[in-house]
Amino acid sequence: MKVLFINPQQEMAGLQCLSAYLKRAGHATALFNDPRLFMNLFLQSERLDRLFHVREEGFAAIEAFSPDLIGFSVVSDDYEWACAWAAAIRERCDIPIVFGNCHPTFYPRQVLAQPEVDFAARGEGEETLLELVEALGKGEDFAKIRGLAYKDHGSVRVNPMRPLIADLDSLPFPDKDLHYGPMPYLNHGYSTMTGRGCPFRCTFCHNNSSVKLYAEHGLAKSWVRRQSPRRVIAELLWAKERYGYDHIRFNDEEFAYDRGWLREFCALLKAEVGVPYFAWVSPNTIDAESAGLMGKSGCDFVEMGLQSGSERLRTDILHRRVSNERMAEAMRSLREAGIRPEVDLLLGLPTEMKADLDDTVELLRRGRPGATYPFWLRYYPVTDIFALAKERGLLSSEQIACAERDFSPRGSGYYREGNLRRESLARHYHTFILLMPLLPDWLIRLCQRWDLVRFTPAFFDSMVLAQVRRLFRGGMFDDYHLRIYHGSVWEFARLVRAWLSR
């Protein structure tokens, strides 16, 4: 059997895991990439998207590979994109289509209400997809495939959830060639994950919602799982021999939560791999010891979720119970270990006020991260923060209906909470926070003392500001951003060549 994945212009580790699992069982896989240069979260131009569309290339790839099943990995922000592709494919052929990932996991009936979608894979997909492929090949019934939702004579059947994979060491190495073939620019550095799940329960995150979903089926006890240190090293050595990378990106939700695992792994990584790396961490897990272990083993920078400098918001709204002092100490420990700390923040939180934003500016001044990434809160209906906003009357009935109906980037994000509007106060703070790594301490203090942050020009494009900041403060040419720059140029040149040949 053959499975073709349609990819939304990013290296999706989940697809690589699914492909490797299918190939180990003797099935064939391929990937077609939609570059989405003009219709994404940062740039949206329907005119350019229509001009440089790749639908015909996609149809040609389908015809050439002749798959038995077409798969989409669908987060909520990509749902409209995936539905549009599925509808276009169904007009041309009758190949079964399956959606997987977060959105089908939480909304299987909504997904299968689309006439062009035949199956929804819920939760971890390796075993579910393999059983679906083999059932299609043998003409068998789908009723016993756990984790699958499907159509049955006009009705939607949602099977019980499948238990989580307990032994991650039993899985094959990810199929990196699935992406590296059609997207060769991704081979800047090597990205992987050492485990699955997150130990924290933030109200805005899908991990919290996923744990609750699995708990409803009595399957949540093993949500956080990890490969053994030796198994991860084996993958890294295999990949180093095969691809010759010079930097590693660990995309675990939280890299440093297990101190015993971290000690063993960092020693092996330094002794046997010897390549610098990036990781995602939380201030709850970073102190002098963990930062020291990571720094000595080659970690050169991390990204850490602060979310807000307001302890009130973190405790009451986000359920992130960590003090500002601990956050500042975490950033200080990282710098002392030779690791560049970069931080994520959320603006537009429920009940957020000017005093909360001022607390965020002060925390960043104390911590002095190398880069700041302030994002606007987006509401997704399955998250606790959406329920909280509804309960407290912070969203209008129109906003609630829109979020529950429309999962596009423009439909599920609301940028007004309490007395804050994106186009006014919070927007000025957004720009100032982006610029803070470029500003000297005396200037930040002056802006605080005279309450000048609220007058920061807010008309600059945040993406442009972020690139300017990287140019002056470093990080402009790390492996992750090289992928983005190289990929954009490579894909645009390919689209132009295809357009000229029409």
Residue 460 has pLDDT above 80, yes or no: no
In Å, what is the CA distance from 148 to each residue of 22, 118, 135, 196, 371? 17, 11, 12, 20, 41
Residues 156 and 63 placed together within one structural domain of the fold: yes
Spell out the alpha helix ranges (H) of 420-461.
Answer: 425-435, 441-449
- DSSP codes, 47-75: HHHHHT--HHHHHHHHHHH--SEEEEE--
Residue 488 lies in a domain: no
Query: Cα 271–275–277 angle (5° rounding)?
Result: 115
Residue 400 has pLDDT above 70, yes or no: yes
Residue 368 has pLDDT above 90, yes or no: yes
Find residue 139's DSSP bridge partners. none
Q: End-to-end CA distance of the chain, in Å?
A: 33
Give exposure, 268-302, as e/b (b: 16+ Cβ within 10 Å). Answer: bbeeebebbbbbbbbbbbbbeebbbbbbebbbebb
Residues 99 and 195 placed together within one structural domain of the fold: no
Query: Cα 345–14–54 angle (5° rounding)?
Result: 90
Lateral strand order in the sheet of 155-158: 28-33, 2-7, 69-73, 97-100, 119-121, 148-152, 155-158
Element (H, E) at 499: helix 479-500
DSSP state of 338: T
Residues 23 and 71 placed together within one structural domain of the fold: yes
Residue 360 has pLDDT above 70, yes or no: yes
d(CA 186, CA 176): 9
Which residue, 223, 246, 126, is CA-closest to 174? 126
Question: What's the domain count of the chain?
Answer: 2
Residue pLDDT, tens place only, 173-216: 999 999 999 988 888 789 999 999 999 999 999 999 999 999 98
Q: Which of 3-7, 383-387, 456-460, 492-496 has the highest mean pLDDT?
A: 3-7
pLDDT at 411: 29
Structure tokens at 260: 């015993």
Which residue, 409, 373, 374, 379, is CA-closest to 394? 379
- How confident is the model over 477-493, as a mean pLDDT? 60
pLDDT confidence band for 491 (50 / 70 / 90): low
Least confident of 221-225, 261-265, 296-300, 438-442: 221-225
Find residue 23's DSSP bridge partners. none
pLDDT confidence band for 418 (50 / 70 / 90): very low
Residue where one domain finishes, among candidates 140, 166, 192: 166
- Under 8 Å between Cβ of 36 and 69: no
Residues 132 and 41 placed together within one structural domain of the fold: yes
Residues 43 and 192 placed together within one structural domain of the fold: no
Could you identify the residue written with the tokens 């062009």?
116
Which residue, 27, 53, 28, 24, is CA-closest to 39? 53
SS3 content of the chain, % helix, strand, coil (to 5): 50, 15, 35
Could you identify the residue written with the tokens 């960590």?
322
CATH code for the domain in which residue 92 is found? 3.40.50.280
Residues 203 and 142 placed together within one structural domain of the fold: no
Residue 69 lies in a domain: yes
Residue where one domain finishes, among candidates 132, 166, 200: 166
d(CA 374, CA 390): 24
Residues 142 and 199 placed together within one structural domain of the fold: no
- How confident is the model over 53-65, as a mean pLDDT? 93
The identity of residue 487, as a single letter, is G
d(CA 106, CA 210): 8
- Under 8 Å between Cβ of 217 and 331: no
pLDDT at 423: 46
Residues 133 and 214 placed together within one structural domain of the fold: no
Structural domain of 74: 2-166
d(CA 104, CA 112): 9
Residue 386 lies in a domain: no
Residue 471 has pLDDT above 90, yes or no: no
Residue 173 lies in a domain: no
d(CA 184, CA 490): 9
Structure tokens at 144: 């016993």
Spell out the alpha helix ranges (H) of 337-424.
Answer: 354-367, 384-391, 397-405, 409-412
Residue where one domain finishes, among candidates 134, 166, 198: 166
Radius of gyration of the chain from its Cα atoms, rounded to whole angstroms: 23
Structure tokens at 14: 């989940």
Other Cβ atoms less than 10 A from the Cβ of 107: the count is 21
CATH code for the domain in which residue 325 is found? 3.80.30.20
Residues 347 and 428 placed together within one structural domain of the fold: yes
Residue 177 lies in a domain: no
Residues 95 and 233 placed together within one structural domain of the fold: no
d(CA 498, CA 58): 12
Residues 149 and 202 placed together within one structural domain of the fold: no
pLDDT confidence band for 62 (50 / 70 / 90): very high
Residues 191 and 131 placed together within one structural domain of the fold: no
Residue 498 lies in a domain: no
Query: Cα 137–143–146 angle (5° rounding)?
Result: 90
pLDDT at 476: 43
pLDDT confidence band for 333 (50 / 70 / 90): very high
Residue 257 lies in a domain: yes
Residue 60 lies in a domain: yes
List CB contacts of 452: < 8 A, sequence separation 6 or more.
Answer: 446
